[in-house]
Amino acid sequence: MLNRLTISELSARLIKREVSSREVTQACLDQIARVDGQIHAFISHDAADALAQADVADKAIAAGASSSQQPLLGIPVAVKDVLAVKNQPLNCGSKILGDFVSPYDATVIEKLKIAGAIVFGRLNMDEFAMGSSTENSAFGVTRNPWDTTRIPGGSSGGSAAAVAADEAIATLGTDTGGSIRQPAALCGCVGLKPTYGRVSRYGLVAFASSLDQIGPFTKDVRDCATMLNVIGGHDRRDSTSVAHAVPDYTKALDGNIKGLRLGLPKEYMIGGLDPEVKAAVDAAVKQLQSLGASVEEISLPHTEYAAATYYIIAPAEASANLARFDGIRYCARVNGADPIELYSKTRGAGFGPEVKRRIILGTYVLSSGYYDAYYLRAQKVRTLIRQDFLKAFENVDAIITPTTPTAAFKIGEKSDDPLQMYLSDVFTISCNLAGICGVSIPCGFTKSPKLPIGLQLLGKPFGEETMLKIAHAYEQSTVWHREKPAL
Ligand code: GLN
């Protein structure tokens, strides 16, 4: 069962030539054949191409390539259907792109390839990353590997489910308001949203450009650090990426968190928080204290405005970004008598209901007469939310919260009630508005049914090292990350 191992476990065996990349890749492909009919994490994958890449990696290993230079050499990594991979389809979980094929690699993909990864598969997602359940995909619903009657979270539901079901060793997703951390929590894996600017967005189809970040899903914190080492860094093709040095994030994982100060925001332990989630987070707090960290209550007073602020800013940016899907340069065009009719028919047929809702909301809050009342005011509140965090970080090294208010809900449970769906993001949204980093790690299970619960750690801007150090110390002192769904 090579597909069940982590990057670090596999990498050691690959380099010693105890196993080949072809065997590891084949193990992932076999698992997809065995379970993806139930899970539907993948929209598509090209097995022959993946094996051909594996053979190239095996040749490089035979020729003496080193894992210090190529930390992902021979490791199969699958990607969310919103990232451009040269010569592979790119649909963003939507019908509107038709048979579009990417002409170039996103920067993160280029980096994965340079690091030796086998980049394969298109992972299912909510259309244009808008959603929290992966039910808004034109390619069907993805199911939670722990209970296939439940959602895997979203929008990167395919990325989380593929790691949880051992169909890939690691995956990439994107997080605009929680789309990495929330599905990671609900599927029981590790998911990291880097600081805004840590990872280049070049080659990522934009949803809300001031919030979007690409990040990894992995089976443990060490692999998460390895992935961030590979994908992090400045890129001249993305002016919002920051020229901040990329440390070796794995070096920080020494298990020693004595004396670190953690903040527990009182605004997050609210009504609506499931008692089993609360109990798991309370137990995690005690565990962190027993490892030598101190925990104090803190306040992030503008938390209650985060969801409202996000659901103005994100749709506003989306309405502008999605204007390019007009049937002229690309897209599955539906012709009309004149250009206006062509646009409206193409967009009417191509976008699903949630994307249309966001475009309508976004266009409204940006329209003259409402711009000041909604968009401008939301931007001001966003600044207050960021200031709350910066102030809190004067006294604490990281913040701990539940990742989600409840464990995975049933498929269909919230799809008729957009507001309830939006509220499932309450704990993850502020991090994007503030531009800081966050990671979700497994911290327990509900009893019946047995569903994963996630602990969220939030770090200072470019504070991924300390955040991962804490996440790793906690993980290594607990057993949650070792549990596997019965598939
Ligand atoms: N669930 C949130 C939304 O629908 C966040 C999505 C995301 O992070 N891409 O906007």
First-to-last alpha carbon distance for the chain, in angstroms, is 13
189 within 8 A of 219, measured Cβ to Cβ: yes
Handedness of CA 18, 21, 25, 26 (dihedral sign): negative
Q: What is the pLDDT of residue 78?
A: 98
Q: How many CB atoms lie within 10 A of CB 445?
A: 18
Each residue's pLDDT tens digit, 368-411: 999 999 999 999 999 999 999 999 999 999 999 999 999 999 99
Each residue's pLDDT tens digit, 73-97: 999 999 999 999 999 999 999 999 9
Report d(CA 40, CA 47) in Å as an integer: 16
Q: What is the pLDDT of residue 419?
A: 81
Best mutation site among 311, 414, 425 for ligand 1, i.e. most ligand atoms within 8 A of its Cβ? 425
Ligand 1, CB cutoff 6 Å, lining residues: 129-132, 155, 175-179, 207, 314, 425
pLDDT band at 425 (very low <50, low <70, confident <90, very high): confident
| Cα of 191 from ligand 1 centre, angstroms | 15
Q: What is the pLDDT of residue 67?
A: 87
Q: What is the pLDDT of residue 420?
A: 84
Q: How many CB atoms lie within 10 A of CB 33?
A: 11
Q: How many CB atoms lie within 10 A of CB 4?
A: 13
What residues does each domain of the chain span? 2-258
Query: Which amino acid makes up residue 108?
Result: V
Q: What is the pLDDT of residue 415?
A: 87
Active-site option among 159, 179, 415, 440: 179
Report d(CA 218, CA 199) in Å as an integer: 17
Specify whether 209 is catalytic. Answer: no
Q: Give CATH superfamily name and number for 2-258.
A: Amidase signature (AS) domain (3.90.1300.10)
Q: Report strand pairing: 452-459 vs 42-44.
A: unpaired
pLDDT band at 68 (very low <50, low <70, confident <90, very high): confident
Ligand 1 atom closest to Cα of 207?
9
| Average pLDDT for the chain | 97
Q: What is the pLDDT of residue 272?
A: 79
Ligand 1 atom closest to Cα of 422?
1
Q: What is the pLDDT of residue 417?
A: 87
| Cα of 176 from ligand 1 centre, angstroms | 6
Specify whether 159 is catalytic. Answer: no
Q: What is the pLDDT of residue 396?
A: 98
Q: Whose alpha carbon is nearest atom 5 of ligand 1?
A: 177
SS3 184: helix
Report d(CA 28, CA 77) in Å as an integer: 10
Specify whether 380 is catalytic. Answer: no
pTM of the model: 0.98
Q: What is the pLDDT of residue 418?
A: 83
Query: What does the pLDDT average to over 439-463?
Result: 98
Q: What is the pLDDT of residue 421?
A: 87
Q: What is the pLDDT of residue 75?
A: 98
